[in-house]
Structure 1
Amino acid sequence: MTITQLYYVLAVAEYKNFTLAAEKCFVTQPTLSMQIQKLEEELDIQIFDRSKKPIQLTDVGHMIVNQAKNIVNESVRIKDIVDQHKGYIGGEFKIGIIPTVMPTLLPMFINTFIKKYPKVSLIIEERTTEEIIRMLKNGQLDAAIAATPLSEESIKEVVLYYEPFVAYVPENNPAFKKKEFDVEDLEANLDNILLLQDGHCFRNNVLNICRNSSLIENNPFQVESGSFETMVKLADEGMGMTLLPYLHTLDLPEKSLAKLRHFREPKPSREVSLIYAKKELKLHIIDALRSVIASVVKGAITFQNVAITSPVQKK
């Protein structure tokens, strides 16, 4: 049994196709199939049911794949130990970023990081918070950027910045006359707030601001969208107001800026952190990433007096 064989098994389990798995592993399909067959013969079992389309794991195959993940992940960590010992900042680094942070934060730091650390091969995936937590625990991501606190015992959180919420209020909305907002103003307009679709932690951040958030769930008008741009356009059409993260407001056209209403202090805000599994070994790359992001964000966000809301929705 070899780690390479287990790596091939994991690829087939993920893609459910020998040809596609071979392409992803950069080997020929006969080579991959032969190695998996050798492993099955050694163990005297069938890992895959090849009679089904797509290919499925057998019952014992599921257990083998779960163990193989641990073995392959731990084998990779040996190289991480050596790299960290040598102070080498390079190699592949997989990072997940939540959808409500990706469009604004990534363009701010990616170019600077690549120029400063050209030997690091960043693989960036847009993922929901739930996916990120699962993938960090499974070793499928090295780190992630998400709203915190998450209250996950196995995950370390390093705060990058605090980002206030800003209300976007169209002219035909009675609340447009107010120059500043209080949280109570949201309470008074619960039936008039446009939110992202369920599953976005930003939605939970907003719901947690409002003490009577159940009213939002009962709105006669609800839209399933993961886009702030859609929320802004719907607000402009008179469908209600919405809340935006501060960095997103920096990209709005000038005609839209007059519709922004900031909150009085302490400003309701979200905490955005660099998170990773506590057993993670690529700490040298994580620290480099944190340093670059902190330096570029420092000039954009200078708010101090903020009230942090958790992305974990309160019951």
Structure 2
Amino acid sequence: MTITQLYYVLAVAEHKNFTLAAEKCFVTQPTLSMQIQKLEEELDIQIFDRSKKPIQLTEIGAKIVQQAKNIVNESDRIKDIVDQQKGYFGGEFKIGIIPTIMPTLLPMFLNNFIKKYPKINLIIEEHNTEEIIKRLKSGHLDAAIAATPLEEESIKEIVLYYEPFVGYFPENHKNTGKEEIDIDDLDVENILLLQDGHCFRDGILNLCKNANLKRDSHFQLESGSFETLIKLADEGLGITLLPYLHTLDLSEKTKLNLRHFKEPRPAREVSLIFPKNELKIHIIDALRSTISGVVKGAIAFHNVQIISPLLKNKRST
């Protein structure tokens, strides 16, 4: 039994196709099939039921795949130990970022990171929180940046910063004249929200303590863009809430419509998250250090109330 054979088994289990698995492993299909067959002969069992389309795991095959994941992870950990001992920061590192954080945070730290660690091939993917969790658990991401807490037992969270919610009230709105607002100033039936699947939307619903907001009788919005929400608010179609970092690049005219909440300000907790096996932890630590260094200058809020990204009650800190 070899680590390579286990890699091949995991690839077929994931893609349910020998040809596609071989392409992903950069080997020929006969080579991959032969190695898996050798493993099955050695163990005297069938890992895959080849009579089904797509290929399925046998009952014992499912158990072997689960153990193979553990073995492959531990073999990768040996490489990590060597890299850390040598002080080597290099190789491929896949990180996921949720859409409401990617446009503002990534430009803040990416240039600094790649200059400091030029040998790391940073692969950045944009996914919603649900997909990020799925990819972290399956090993398709090394780490991610998302709103927390997520309450996932197999995932660790390191808080990077707290990002306040900021109200956007169009000109002539009744609350435009206020210097600071509170939650009671929100007209929950007229809040323009991002489409379903965005945790920032769920955070707003938690903030308003009303997960069943009425839909406007004239239109139904399905947008993933804060810019769209701002423009609709300017047209008198409602108000909206924005993450603080997103407000920094707005025009001076647009900023006149922003209103901060009274302290403690409602905020989202943004964290670097990764599997508890802590593979490539030295690169994860390098990311945390780089991001923390640039963000602390942009966000200096401390008296905040953390709003959960999961649809439920809020908690304080």
Please say whether Structure 1 and Structure 2 have the same fold, judged by a TM-score greater than 0.5: yes
Deviating runs (4+, > 4 A) in structure 1?
Answer: 217-222
| Aligned ranges 1:123-138 → 2 under 5 Å | 123-138=123-138
Greater Cα offset, 6-15 or 47-56: 47-56
* CA contact 1:99–1:128 (8 Å) conserved in 2: yes
State the one-letter code of the partner of 1:73.
N
For 2:270 and 2:231, the matched residues in 1 are separated by 26
Match of 1:34 in 2: 34
* Alpha carbons of structure 1 residues 28 and 250: separation in structure 2 relative to 1, 3 Å: same
Shift of 1:128: 2.6
Could you tell me which runs of 5 or more consecutive residues in structure 2 were left unpaired when the two chains were aligned: none
Matches within 5 A, 1:1-315: 1-171=1-171, 173-186=173-186, 189-211=187-209, 213-216=210-213, 222-314=220-312
Question: What are the Cα deviations for residues 4-63 of structure 1, in whole angstroms up to 9, with x where unaligned?
Answer: 111112112222332322222111222122222222333344333444444333443333
1:105 Cα deviation after fit:
0.8
Distance 1:230 1:10, change over 3 A: farther
Larger mean Cα displacement after TM superposition, 299-308 or 159-168: 299-308
Letter in 2 for 1:78: I
Deviation at 1:177, TM superposition (A): 4.2
Q: Deviations over 1:222-255 (max 9, x none)?
A: 4333332332333234331111101112233444
2-side partners of 1:33 and 1:204: how far apart? 46
**Equivalent-residue separation in structure 2 for 1:9 and 1:278 (angstroms):** 23
Deviation at 1:281, TM superposition (A): 4.2
Aligned-partner residue type, residue 248 of structure 2: L
- Cα separation, 1, equivalents of 2:60 and 2:87: 41
SS across alignment from 2:237: coil
The number of equivalent residue pairs is 312
Q: Distance in 2 between matches of 1:25 and 1:75?
A: 17
What is the rounded CA distance, in whole Å, between the counterparts of 1:116 and 1:27 in structure 2?
34
2:211/2:311 contact within 8 Å kept: no
Contact 1:145–1:274 (8 Å) recurs in 2: yes
Q: After superposition, give the CA deviation of every residue in 1:183-212 in whole Å (9 maximum; x if it has no partner).
A: 1112xx01001222333221222122223x
Alignment check: 8 A CA contact 2:161 2:299 kept: yes
* Structure 1 residues 305 and 201, CA gap change in structure 2 (3 angstroms): same
Deviates more, 1:221-230 or 1:11-20: 221-230
- The AA in structure 2 aligned to 1:147 is A
Quote the offset at 1:172 in angstroms.
Answer: 5.8
Cα distance, 1:15–1:215 mapped onto 2, change above 3 Å:
closer
Hey, what's the Cα distance between the residues in 2 that align with 1:217 and 1:45? 57
Task: State the Cα RMSD in Å.
Answer: 2.5
Q: Distance in 2 between matches of 1:48 and 1:281?
A: 28
Aligned residues: percent identity?
Answer: 76
Cα distance in 2 for residues equivalent to 1:173 and 1:51: 66
Deviation at 1:70, TM superposition (A): 1.6
Do 2:165 and 2:268's aligned partners in 1 also have CA atoms closer than 8 Å? yes
Once residues 24 and 231 of structure 2 are traced to their aligned partners in structure 1, the CA distance between those partners, rounded to angstroms, is 40
- Cα deviations across residues 104-143 of structure 1 (Å, max 9, x unaligned)? 1112111210110112222222233233334434444332
How far apart in 2 are the matches of 1:154 and 1:146? 15
The 8 Å contact of residues 149 and 269 in structure 2, kept in 1 or not, is answered as yes
1:195 aligned counterpart, secondary structure: coil
| 8 Å Cα contact 1:48-1:55 kept in structure 2 | yes
* Matched AA of 1:61: G
Per-residue CA deviations over 1:74-108 (Å, capped at 9, x if unaligned) read 21111112222333222232222222111211121
Counterparts of 2:5 and 2:232 in 1: how far apart (Å)? 52
Does structure 1 retain, via aligned residues, the 8 Å contact 2:166–2:243? yes
Cα distance in 2 between the residues matched to 1:232 and 1:35: 57
**Letter of the aligned partner of 1:205 in structure 2?**
G
CA contact 1:83–1:89 (8 Å) conserved in 2: yes
Secondary structure class of the residue paired with 2:94: strand
* TM-score, with length taken from structure 1: 0.88
Supply the distance in 1 between the matched residues of 2:214 and 2:36 (Cα, whole angstroms).
Answer: 50
Does the 8 A contact of 2:76 with 2:279 survive in 1? Answer: no
Deviation at 1:146, TM superposition (A): 1.4
CA distance in 1, matches of 2:107, 2:268: 20
Amino acid in the other structure paired with 1:241: I
